Amino acid sequence: MNTNEKLNMTMLCDFYELTMSNGYFSNAMGDRVCYFDVFYRNVPDGGGFAIAAGLEQVVEFVKNLHFSEQDIAYLRGRGIFNEEFLEYLRNFRFTGDIYAVPEGTPIFPKEPMITVRARAIEAQLLETYMLLAVNHQSLIATKANRVVRAAQGRTVLEFGSRRAHGAQAAILGARAAYIGGCNGTACTIADQLYGVPAGGTMAHAWVQMFDTELAAFESYCKLYPNHATLLVDTYNTLKSGVPNAIRAFNAVLRPLGIKKCGIRLDSGDMTYLSKKARKMLDDAGWEECKISVSNSLDEHIIRELLRQGAPIDMFGVGERLITARSESVFGGVYKLVAVESSGGAVIPKIKVSENTGKITTPHYKKLYRFFGNDNGKAIADYLCVWDETVDDSKNLRIFDPDATWKQKDVYNFTAKELQVPIFLGGEQVYELPALEEVRAYCLAQVDALWEEVKRFDNPHSYYVDLSQKLWDVKYGLLQSSAKDGTDEKN
């Protein structure tokens, strides 16, 4: 196969999605309507929340679901699929419903980020790509938001393309990092495709190509006088790099009346070097010169640099962001939570496990977030059965479902349903917002969280409660499972 041909992403699925679909078809179950939830179990890095991302790619995937003649020929060649099933795939398209929280929404464990209501085969074939898109970008957006919060308002750029796990990881990772709050990227194609602001100045190779460091700096300042950021650690940061940068600024920028410029540190003790460099620049009259740093940074290193008083204006964060190195898997899952009877009744399903963390919350559900009317802060999230509504004009007592002795009375609040319809009857009904809107929405929603929830260390456990009706359904299914030993699994 010519790998330069455009791949059909419908075939980017685990093989068992196809064997199960063939089985559903053979057993006349392919048209049975079912419900799947996408959710995650644990917040990366022990944080207080995660950031939902990747929905735009899910939408594009669903819109383009189809099997080509080449795909069908490949499946026929495997020798295990019914010919009638292969004929069914020839006209395959998605005809179901999808609901999701918008990209950029802070989300908590076990909440349905995406809910799929569709015929069994259609729903099954979404699983792999949907999880791939959501897991990767939610992981990177979450990590980026941690890094941005550690920087305390200073500029953060994503620098990780060359360390990413493949081309798409670099491109979509830059997109996710921008959603999470980064100001831009070094990845040019991410700007071209998605509008993530791309920028960059020079590598050490630029400096080494010239006979002298000063000549390299002066040449760059002449080429880009309004964007002159000089890499000062090729030889010796304080003995040659910063002094030569000052000389170049004096020779080229000062006569032009340009005061804004910058230097970048990429090695050494960033606190010590940035303090020394800041004094040298200020003493030379370059108080507006910005100091940027790079080199294996993450939220913990950034927080410590600032605690030590490092006068840094911009952070370039690479491998530890684009790979989310400290915890490289988001852990989102796709689980069956309900099916419909022939009469249209919704029948809840539960997955039971000896590992209590893997027990699912059954049923077709709604997800609400309660915001205080006095301060706009998020108070708690509330999961209920799809036919329930929340009356936010009345007080409500909620419980932490993982520690039911923890109770909280909620009053003077507004309840907002978090999931919105994306597809109805197979047609897209959701207008994808511009990336700038997603980023702004994300930062506003994170700002609505209490600082205690945003702590890096031992964050406050945010309340995600189940309605009494939903709890009764879940508890009843657990009791039934304990009695007869059944274990409903998707």
Model pLDDT, residue 75: 97
Give the CATH superfamily of 141-322: Aldolase class I (3.20.20.70)
**What is 9-136+330-484's CATH topology?**
nicotinate phosphoribosyltransferase (3.20.140)
pLDDT of residue 357: 85
Say what the pLDDT of residue 490 is.
Answer: 38
pLDDT the model gives residue 380: 94
Walk along the chain (490 residues) and give the pLDDT tens digit of each residue. Answer: 444 457 899 999 999 999 999 999 999 999 999 999 999 999 999 999 999 999 999 999 999 999 999 999 999 999 999 999 999 999 999 999 999 999 999 999 999 999 999 999 999 999 999 999 999 999 999 999 999 999 999 999 999 999 999 999 999 999 999 999 999 999 999 999 999 999 999 999 999 999 999 999 999 999 999 999 999 999 999 999 999 999 999 999 999 999 999 999 999 999 999 999 999 999 999 999 999 999 999 999 999 999 999 999 999 999 999 999 998 899 999 999 999 998 999 999 999 988 888 899 999 999 999 999 999 999 999 999 999 999 888 888 887 666 655 677 888 999 999 999 999 999 999 999 999 999 999 999 999 999 999 999 999 999 999 999 999 999 999 998 777 655 444 3
- Can you give the pLDDT at residue 488? 45
Q: Provide the pLDDT for residue 409.
A: 84
Q: Where are the domains of the chain?
A: 9-136+330-484, 141-322
3-state secondary structure the chain: CCCCCCCCHHHCCCHHHHHHHHHHHHCCCCCCEEEEEEEECCCHHHCCCEECCCHHHHHHHHHCCCCCHHHHHHHHHHCCCCHHHHHHHHCCCCCCEEEECCCCCEECCCCCCEEEEEEHHHHHCCHHHHHHHHHHHHHHHHHHHHHHHHCCCCEEEECCHHHCCCHHHHHHHHHHHHHHCCCEECCHHHHHHHCCCECCCCCHHHHHHCCCHHHHHHHHHHHCHHHCEEECCCCCHHHHHHHHHHHHHHHHHHHHCCCCCEEEECCCCHHHHHHHHHHHHHHCCCCCCEEEECCCCCHHHHHHHHHCCCCCCEEEECHHHHCCCCCCCCCEEEEEEEEECCCCCEEECCCCCCCHHHCCCCCCEEEEEEEECCCCCEEEEEEEECCCCCCCCCCEEEEECCEEEEEEEECCEEEEECCEEEEECCEECCCCCCHHHHHHHHHHHHHCCCCCCCCCCCCCCCCEEECHHHHHHHHHHHHHHHHHCCCCCC
